[in-house]
Amino acid sequence: MAEEFENPMQLQLSNELKDSFMKAYAQTKTGELEDDLDENTMILCENLVKIYRTKDTEVLALQGLELKINRGEFVALIGSSGSGKSTFLNMLGGLDRPSAGKLYVDGKDLFKLTDRQMVDYKQSTVGFVWQNNARNLFPYLTALQNVELPMRFLDGGKDAEKRALDLLNLVGMAHKKDSKLNQMSGGEQQRIAIAIALANRPKLLLADEPTGSVDQKTADVILDVFRYLNKELGITIVIVTHDINLAKKVSRVVMIRDGKTSSERIMKAEKKQELKGFMDEVEDSVASAEDTHDEYAILDRAGRIQIPRDMLDEIGVKSNRVRMSVEDGKIVICAEESQEEAKKEKHSDKDETKHDKKKK
C-alpha cells in the first residue's frame, strides 16, 4: 500500500479525472483467471526467459525471472547494467515478446495475445515513461498539445483539452501548459511525459530510469509525482532505477541479477513512518538501504536461490562451494573453509548450554 505523505507541490486530482480512472479500472477486473492468478494480481511472471538472437550470437537477457506484483503496488527494480531490467520492462509494456515462461498482466496472458490484442493492451493497460524524454515528447508542441495528442489518436479526443489540463494539474504542470517542450527543464519535461503516459488511463505505469538524466532534487520531485499517483489513483507502478536513494523511498525493491530476480527488500513499517515526509533529505543521508528494508531472497520453483554477493563476501565465501545444513529449523550456509570453526562454535555453544543448565 502507498504510504502517507503531504503534498508540497499542490498536485491536484479532479473528481472527474479520478472517476474516469476508476471506471477504466473496473472494466477488466473480472473474467477467467488462470493458474496462480487472483483478482489482486497485476503482474505474474514465472520462469520468464528472453533470448535476443542476432546473426551470430544469442543473448539470454532474462533467465527465469519470477515475480508477482499486486494491484496498487509501487515497485522499484534495481540491478547492474545489462542485468535485464529494460528487457523485463519492455516485456511488461508489450514492446517486445518474451521467449518462454509465463507472463500475465492484468489477467491477460501476454504469450497468447494476438498482434491486434497487443496493440489494444498497449493502448489501454500500460503507460510508459522513458529516461530519454525525446521518446515521449514532441519538442515543437506545447505541453498541453503533447498530452492531448494520444487522446486525439485513440478516442477521437472528446474533451481532450479539459482532460489534458486535468492531467497537467495532476503532475503539477498546469502553469506551463502553453510552453513548448524545448523551453522546459529536464524534470519538467519528465512530468509532462508522465501526464502523457496517463492519457489513456493505464492501470500499470512503467518507467525506465525516469530520473536517469536529472539531479537528485529533481529526481525526488519526479518520485513524489509517482507516489501521489500511486496513492490517489491506486495505479500500479514499476520503475527501473539506478538511484539507491530513490529506491529507499519505495516500499518494495526488487533486485535483478543476470536476468533473474535475486532479492527483495520490503520497507519495514517503522521506517515507512519515519520516511513520511518524503522531502526529508536529512533522513535520506543517514538511512542506508540495509536500515530501511528487510531483505528477502527469491526461491524459484526448482529450489534455487541467489545469495547477494555482499552477503557471501561477508561470510568469507571465496569458492563456488558452500556448506549447508539445517539447524534449529533454519538453513545455515557457511563458507567451506569455516566448516571447522562452525563445528567448534557449535560445540562451545553446547558446552555453554550444559553449563547454563548446571547452574540452574
Binding site for ligand ATP (CB under 6 A): 52, 54, 59, 61, 79, 81-87
Among ligand ATP, Mg ion, none, the one that 94 touches (CB under a kind-dependent 5 to 8 A) is none
Which of residues 90 and 236 has its CB atom nearest to ligand ATP in the complex? 90
Among Mg ion, ligand ATP, none, the one that 111 touches (CB under a kind-dependent 5 to 8 A) is none
**From CA 127, how far away is CA 147, in angstroms rounded?**
13
Which of residues 86 and 136 has its CB atom nearest to Mg ion in the complex? 86
Closest approach of ligand ATP to the CB of residue 209, in Å: 7
Residue by residue, DSSP assigns 228-261 as HHHHHH--EEEEE-S-HHHHTTSSEEEEEETTEE
Closest approach of ligand ATP to the CB of residue 347, in Å: 46
Q: Which residue is nearest to Mg ion (CB)?
A: 86
The contacts of residue 272 (CB under 8 Å, 6+ apart) are 3, 251
Residue 10 is classified by DSSP as -
Which of residues 84 and 187 has its CB atom nearest to ligand ATP in the complex? 84
Closest approach of Mg ion to the CB of residue 249, in Å: 21
Closest approach of ligand ATP to the CB of residue 186, in Å: 18
List residues bridging with 250 in a β-sheet. Answer: none
Which of residues 209 and 220 has its CB atom nearest to ligand ATP in the complex? 209
Q: Residue 252 carries which side chain, given as an amino acid letter?
A: R
Which of residues 59 and 332 has its CB atom nearest to ligand ATP in the complex? 59
Closest approach of Mg ion to the CB of residue 271, in Å: 28
Q: What is the dihedral of CA 331, 335, 336, 341, to 10 degrees?
A: -90
DSSP-H helix ranges across 12-67:
15-27
Among Mg ion, ligand ATP, none, the one that 93 touches (CB under a kind-dependent 5 to 8 A) is none
Among Mg ion, ligand ATP, none, the one that 1 touches (CB under a kind-dependent 5 to 8 A) is none
SS3 220: helix
Which of residues 13 and 61 has its CB atom nearest to Mg ion in the complex? 61
Closest approach of ligand ATP to the CB of residue 304, in Å: 20
Residue 97: phi and psi, rounded to 5, are -100, 140
Residue 228: phi and psi, rounded to 5, are -65, -45
Nearest to 208 by CA among 47, 302, 87, 62: 87
Binding residues (CB under 5 A) for Mg ion: these are 86
Residue 57 is classified by DSSP as -
Among ligand ATP, Mg ion, none, the one that 81 touches (CB under a kind-dependent 5 to 8 A) is ligand ATP
